[in-house]
């Protein structure tokens, strides 16, 4: 990252901290993100007005303010001349559009809320996105953010111009992502609902290797970071190849939390990307449908909440959408009380005949139930995926990367069209040591991101790092697909994360209880039949 990017990141975080300091900044993300977003809209609108003023011209004696006044009238008459029409006009047409907000001196919260709602009323794409927040809201009669702090925040945001000539879309976009990540650092368990570490998205996007014009879908899109990373990966690949800008990806996402849905839309727009982000619970009410099936896509990326237990067998009874039925593009049915493989089935059913997907899951999803003599529903669903040859591979991740857990996690890669030479095989990669210590979280450095993605893409076997494993070997290991089971890194002979060992101990305890129950039943029968 160059100095300009870093400077912008520092400014954007300092602005966020201007309310109550770094510790409390994440609490105010719902106020801060829309304001920075609005600053970008205002400055870009200014640039568009200046372009129009220059194009239409005016009498030689007319000044800049006269030309700007004419441009304001033109865009008000024909709002299609600009991408987003802002009904904000300073008294002096020469002044910046943002000055309307910057010069607020009385009832700031009330007037700011009114302005943002007026902008949303003029732009259908912004409805529910920047007009969700009431900057004048109170709790028990006390303002959530008083006018003094709001004025301070506005002034800090005013320090930098975010127009087209000042900062490119990818730079402001990356800085906005940086701000979302900083909020995640202070949000504890809730952070995982809206943010996946950026390096995770880069690895997934590189492995997905999308082509121009492809469709890309995320059923649990959070702030849309994984979708954005896929588009950025395509742009980087096009640039590296020395080609002209290609057709962008067609991005689709669904998010259940309204505030996060708004965040996703702002994130997409500020990156200068277009996509369709729907709101709602994908598990129970998927929005992307085609007839009586799910709409299918070329690529899918997802980081669903891990180990959800809220879904019952009735929630899997969705045969009309062919998600869990074991038919066609569907899956193998109810995986038990944890929904990880339910999400995998939803993603699988959302892929077209040549589709590929990358899904972040808890490590337990790769091994739960294996080695258990009793029937285990989760293992049976995993077995179905292996036998259908739908799994391309699994990447085992380092610990303490994610903001809502210290557990390592895996990336499960699905492929509906594996090359013939890779059929009935899985590529396993143990990246548990590919991290640098960080505060508060570890991170995967740039060179390791490239190494992981390139090794996986090439299916290159590396000692203590990666292996090609046959379906027969997976079956012999009772459909345990965790890379740590097959690849030992050499750490303390056979290092295994505590979380994974605990999972296995829980499974053994369940089996022991079942065996004890069965033994007691047999003894009871013997006792009853004895003379």
Same domain, 120 and 226: no
At residue 494, the pLDDT reads: 47
Identify the DSSP state of 245.
P
Q: Is the pLDDT of residue 250 over 70?
A: yes
Same domain, 159 and 203: no
Same domain, 157 and 217: no
At residue 110, the pLDDT reads: 97
Domain end residue (candidates: 471, 486, 501): 486
Same domain, 240 and 320: yes
**pLDDT > 70 fraction of the chain, expressed in percent and rounded:** 89
pLDDT in tens, 73-128: 999 999 999 999 999 999 999 999 999 999 999 999 999 999 999 999 999 999 99
Q: At what angle do helices 258-270 and 29-56 cross, to 10 degrees?
A: 30
Distance of CA 269 to the CA centre of its chain: 15
| Strand (E) or helix (H) holding 232 | helix 225-240
Three-class DSSP category at 275 = strand
At residue 125, the pLDDT reads: 95
Q: Is the pLDDT of residue 161 over 60?
A: yes
Strand partners of residue 406: none
- pLDDT bin (cut points 50, 70, 90) of residue 493 is very low
Instruction: For residue 330, give every residue at least 6 positions away whose Cβ sits within 8 Å of its Cβ, in sequence order, or none.
Output: 322, 323, 324, 345, 348, 349
By the 8 A CB rule, do 225 and 198 touch? yes
Rounded CA separation 100/458 (Å):
55
Q: At what angle do helices 340-349 and 377-387 cross, to 10 degrees?
A: 30
At residue 20, the pLDDT reads: 84
Number of domains comprising the chain: 2
Same domain, 122 and 55: yes
Question: 263 burial class (0-12, 13-18, 19+ CB within 10 angstroms)?
Answer: buried
Q: Is the pLDDT of residue 260 over 50?
A: yes
Same domain, 161 and 237: no
Residue 152 belongs to a domain: yes
Q: Is the pLDDT of residue 61 over 60?
A: no
pLDDT in tens, 267-320: 999 999 999 999 999 999 999 999 888 999 999 999 999 999 999 888 887 556
By the 8 A CB rule, do 280 and 287 touch? yes
By the 8 A CB rule, do 429 and 396 touch? yes
Same domain, 45 and 121: yes
Closest CA to 208 of 358, 394, 308, 68: 358
Q: What is the CA radius of gyration of the chain?
A: 27
Question: Between 194 and 331, where is the model more confident?
Answer: 194
Q: Is the pLDDT of residue 179 over 80?
A: yes
Residue 528 belongs to a domain: no
CATH number at residue 290: 3.40.50.150
Same domain, 140 and 202: no
Q: What is the pTM of this model?
A: 0.89
Residue 370 belongs to a domain: yes
Same domain, 280 and 338: yes
Does residue 440 have a cis peptide bond before it, meaning omega lies within 30 degrees of 0? yes
Three-class DSSP category at 88 = coil
Q: Which domain holds residue 117?
A: 3-171
Rounded CA separation 147/154 (Å):
10
CATH number at residue 138: 1.20.1260.30
Same domain, 125 and 214: no
Cα 271–Cα 278–Cα 45 angle in degrees, nearest 5: 35
| Residue tagged 């839309």 (tokens) | 265
Domain end residue (candidates: 171, 203, 225): 171
Same domain, 161 and 241: no
Question: Between 523 and 483, where is the model more confident?
Answer: 483
Residue 531 belongs to a domain: no
Closest CA to 411 of 395, 422, 434: 395
Distance of CA 34 to the CA centre of its chain: 19
Task: Tell me what the mean pLDDT of segment 50-75 comes to.
Answer: 80
Long-range contacts of 261-265 (CB under 8 A, 24+ apart): 261/128, 262/34, 262/128, 262/129, 262/130, 262/132, 263/29, 263/33, 263/180, 263/194, 263/222, 263/223, 263/224, 264/221, 264/222, 264/223, 264/224, 265/125, 265/126, 265/129, 265/224
Q: Which two tokens stand for residue 321?
A: 């959408």
Task: Tell me what the mean pLDDT of segment 332-348 comes to.
Answer: 92
The tally of CA atoms less than 13 A away on the side-chain side of residue 288 is 26
Q: Is the pLDDT of residue 501 over 80?
A: no
| Edge-to-edge strand list for the sheet holding 297-302 | 275-279, 250-255, 215-218, 297-302, 351-361, 410-415, 391-396, 425-430, 466-470
Question: Between 170 and 136, where is the model more confident?
Answer: 136
pLDDT in tens, 372-421: 777 789 999 999 999 999 999 999 999 999 988 899 999 999 999 999 99
Please state whether 146 falls in left (phi above 0), alpha (psi between -120 and 50) or beta.
beta
Helix, strand, coil shares of the chain as percentages rounded to 5?
A: 45, 15, 40
Q: Which two tokens stand for residue 48?
A: 């568009």
Q: Which two tokens stand for residue 213?
A: 């014009």
Q: What is the torsional sign of CA 481, 484, 486, 487?
A: positive
- pLDDT bin (cut points 50, 70, 90) of residue 329 is low
Identify the DSSP state of 269.
H
Same domain, 321 and 391: yes
Task: Tell me what the mean pLDDT of segment 166-189 comes to.
Answer: 88
At residue 472, the pLDDT reads: 97
């Amino acid at each position: 990252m160059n100095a300009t990017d870093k400077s912008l990141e520092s400014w954007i975080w300092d602005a966020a901290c201007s309310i109550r300091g770094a510790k409390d900044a994440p609490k105010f993300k719902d106020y801060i993100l829309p304001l920075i977003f609005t600053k970008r809209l205002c400055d870009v609108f200014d640039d568009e007005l200046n372009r129009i003023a220059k194009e239409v011209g005016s009498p030689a004696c007319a000044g800049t303010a006269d030309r700007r006044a004419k441009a304001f009238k033109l865009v008000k008459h024909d709002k299609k001349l600009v991408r987003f029409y802002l009904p904000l006009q300073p008294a002096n047409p020469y002044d910046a559009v943002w000055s309307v907000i910057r010069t607020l001196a009385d009832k700031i919260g009330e007037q700011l809320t009114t302005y943002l709602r007026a902008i949303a009323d003029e732009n259908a794409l912004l409805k529910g996105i920047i007009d969700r927040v009431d900057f004048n809201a109170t709790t028990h009669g006390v303002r959530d953010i008083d006018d003094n702090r709001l004025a301070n925040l506005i002034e800090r945001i005013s320090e930098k111009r975010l127009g087209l000539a000042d900062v490119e879309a990818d730079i402001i976009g990356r800085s906005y992502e940086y701000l979302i990540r900083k909020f995640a650092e202070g949000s504890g368990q809730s952070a995982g609902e809206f943010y996946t570490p950026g390096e995770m998205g880069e690895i997934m996007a590189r492995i997905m290797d999308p082509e121009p014009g492809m469709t890309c879908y995320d059923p649990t899109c959070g702030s849309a970071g994984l979708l954005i990373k896929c588009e950025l990966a395509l742009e980087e690949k096009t640039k590296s190849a020395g080609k002209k800008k290609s057709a962008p990806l067609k991005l689709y996402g669904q998010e259940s939390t309204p505030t996060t849905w708004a965040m996703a839309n702002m994130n997409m727009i500020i990156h200068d990307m277009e996509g369709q982000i729907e709101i709602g619970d994908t598990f129970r009410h998927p929005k992307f449908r085609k007839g009586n099936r799910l709409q299918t896509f070329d690529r899918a990326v997802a980081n669903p909440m891990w180990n959800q237990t809220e879904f019952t067998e009735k929630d899997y009874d969705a045969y009309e959408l062919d998600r869990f039925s074991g038919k066609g593009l569907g899956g193998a049915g109810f995986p038990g009380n944890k929904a990880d493989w339910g999400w995998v089935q939803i993603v699988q059913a959302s892929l077209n005949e040549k589709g590929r997907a990358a899904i972040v899951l808890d490590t337990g999803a790769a091994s739960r139930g294996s080695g258990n003599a009793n029937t285990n529903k989760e293992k049976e669903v995993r077995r179905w995926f292996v036998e259908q040859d739908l799994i391309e591979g699994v990447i085992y991740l380092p610990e303490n990367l994610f903001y809502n857990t210290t557990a390592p996690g895996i990336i499960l890669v699905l492929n509906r069209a594996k090359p013939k030479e890779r059929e009935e095989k899985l590529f396993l990669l143990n990246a548990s040591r590919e991290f640098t210590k960080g505060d508060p979280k570890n991170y995967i450095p740039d060179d390791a991101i490239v190494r992981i993605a390139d090794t996986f893409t090439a299916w290159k076997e590396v000692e203590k790092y990666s292996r090609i494993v046959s379906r027969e070997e997976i079956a012999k290991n009772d459909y345990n697909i965790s890379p740590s089971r097959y690849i030992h890194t050499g750490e303390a002979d056979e290092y295994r994360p505590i979380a994974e060992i605990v999972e296995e101990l829980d499974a053994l305890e369940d089996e022991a209880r079942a065996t004890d129950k069965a033994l007691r039943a047999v003894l009871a029968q013997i006792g009853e039949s004895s003379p």
